[in-house]
Amino acid sequence: MSERLKPGDTAPAFTLPGADGNDVSLADHKGRKVIVYFYPRALTPGCTKQACDFTDNLDLLAAAGYDVIGVSPDKPEKLAKFRDEENLKVTLVGDPAKETLEAYGAFGEKQNYGKTVMGVIRSTIVVDENGKVEHAFYNVRATGHVAKIIKDLGI
């Protein structure tokens, strides 16, 4: 398992395939703040709730200068289905190799129904305009997390 990021760290660069098949890079968002959130799997109840919460608050976040990118180990085809079925407006990217997930400390041992398993650790990293970590939230809950981020960021 990789190290968890802390405020002040440089956010690891990434370029991953998006739901539409085009590559999305963190560098594409230079000069804007970015909320990068990591979730286990598209089209599951918790991940759907979280993605819908981000979509519902996207205008508010964008007005405050934040872009939102959701990262999961899913392939672009599944992400496109997820986006279309749930009318999601957030940018979704896939990391099947889990390299970005690991670089952000969002993949490793976690508890699942009382067992220790390897998997995606639901996490949210807020990156500032200069590519530095502003906030790092790990082991977050799908429900209510977006409201907490908005409150913590003072939006």
* pLDDT mean values, one per 10 residues, the chain (155 residues): 86 96 94 96 90 95 96 96 96 96 92 83 95 94 91 91
Q: pTM of the predicted model, to two decimals?
A: 0.94
Predicted local confidence at residue 46, as pLDDT: 84
Residue 10's contacts (CB-CB under 8 Å, 6 or more residues apart) are: 131, 132, 133
The one catalytic residue in 11, 16, 34, 47 is: 47
Torsions phi, psi for 74 (to 5 deg):
-75, 155
Known catalytic membership, residue 47: yes
How far apart CA 21 and CA 94 sit, in angstroms, is: 10
Predicted local confidence at residue 118, as pLDDT: 86
